Structure 1
Amino acid sequence: MYYFDEITQPLFVTCCFLIVNLINFRYPVFASIKRGSKPEFGEIAYSLTLMILVIISYGSGDLLIGFVGSFIMGYGDGLAAVVGTKFPYGRYQVLGRNKTVSGSSAIFFVSIVVLVIASYLKIYEVNLIKVVIVAALVTAVEAIAIFGLDNIGVPLTAIIGYMWVIQM
């Protein structure tokens, strides 16, 4: 988000991304965007969340909000799926959805790394207890979210947690 001078530029990009995802939801043009064959709203939620992150980041003047939300959503949630599939250790079910401890660990550790970096960049201090609590909450939200709504729940939990973490 540091590449844009004003809010209209990233909003335009995220709006275009949303339009592409809406079209693809109705008419699957880009098969690589969808994760599975079941109709879920993850791609649309992802696009909407990026728009929300842009608005909150630019509105608050704290662009690290966008960093925290998008990196935990993109890398943490993305790695959780990859790691959980590649190394399916500790299988469990939440609300009828299959999860793995290895996948949940991936989002947990990515959340810690992102929150530590953002906290240090913002206030030059890190409260590891708060960071671990927020990472655990983010991991829980990812585990219980259904219909791809983790793409909204994870970053919103992360940015609310980030705001708490930086209040020393």
Structure 2
Amino acid sequence: MMSSWWMAPVSLWLQLGLVGAWIGLIGLSAEWLYRTKLASPEVVRKVVHIGVGNVILLAWWLQTPAWLGISASIAFSAIAFLSYRFPILPGINGVGRKSLGTFFYAVSIGLLIGYFWTIEQPEYAVLGVLVMTWGDGLAALVGQRFGKHPYTLWGIQKSWEGSFTMAIASFIVSSSILVNVQGNIWQSWIISLAVALWATGLEAFSKFGIDNLTVPLGSAAVAFLLSTLLFLG
């Protein structure tokens, strides 16, 4: 009994320590880049976007309990929302435009963990978060740097280069997770393609940063529903 009592707190504290250390490293790196002006504010924002999103992999690997992930999501959602009004996170929100994207991002992680962790299928939460993490992050960077062919959708300007990057990154993320979980079978590849196309469409509408909510939730939902239909069928 003493052994099990001792191991549970150590395991939980280890999880908190690893996640906290990772987020702290990302935060310090972002602030350093922002203050030294070695990178533009938008690049700094995407460094945080990609870095923080990968915490979901730690949570999956460490089998972090759902309540802990949800609690962290609530805390970061509150901080992100307050920073929208006050200069709490200048390195993240100093891009010269008002957006609730960071807030939506934190909320989406909490919602995905809250649902898929409780039904013991965390891979779909991981898929949704990482599609947003890598797909949207890389699409923005590529679009701004190499976007030579713009298009306008619902009053929002995007580039074909950025959207193509979103589709490729989303497909790579989805297939990597699904092939690892489901196996190297045709269903995994078809579902990954569907997720990539759906996520790219959702990302095209990013007004007010709403894509930080619709892309992860929509990607996870499509992967989960298609997996259920194809494997039950």
Q: Find out whether 1:152 has 2:207 as its counterpart.
A: no
Quick check: which one's helix share is greater? 2
Q: Which moved more, 1:73-82 or 1:158-167?
A: 158-167
Aligned partner of 2:128 in structure 1 is: 69
Unaligned runs of 5+ in 2: 1-58
Q: Find out whether 1:138 has 2:203 as its counterpart.
A: no
Query: Is this contact kept in 2: 1:123–1:166, CA < 8 A?
Result: no
Identity, in percent, stands at 23
SS at match of 1:136: helix
Query: Is this contact kept in 1: 2:203–2:211, CA < 8 A?
Result: yes
Inter-partner Cα distance in structure 1 for 2:85 and 2:96: 13
Shift of 1:36: 3.2
Aligned partner of 2:170 in structure 1 is: 111
TM-score of the superposed pair, with normalisation by structure 1: 0.91
Inter-partner Cα distance in structure 1 for 2:97 and 2:64: 39
Shift of 1:154: 0.5
RMSD (Å) for aligned C-alpha atoms: 1.7
SS at match of 1:32: helix
Inter-partner Cα distance in structure 2 for 1:165 and 1:45: 25
Inter-partner Cα distance in structure 2 for 1:132 and 1:4: 28
Structure possessing the higher radius of gyration over alpha carbons: 2
Q: 1:66 to 1:56 in 2, by over 3 A?
A: same
Aligned partner of 2:146 in structure 1 is: 87
Aligned partner of 1:30 in structure 2 is: 89
**Among 75, 80, 89, the residue aligned to 1:16:** 75
Runs of 4+ in 1 over 4 A off after TM superposition: none
Shift of 1:21: 0.5
Provide the aligned length of Structure 1 versus Structure 2: 168
Shift of 1:133: 2.5
Inter-partner Cα distance in structure 1 for 2:168 and 2:213: 19
Specify the code of the residue in structure 2 equivalent to 1:144. Answer: F
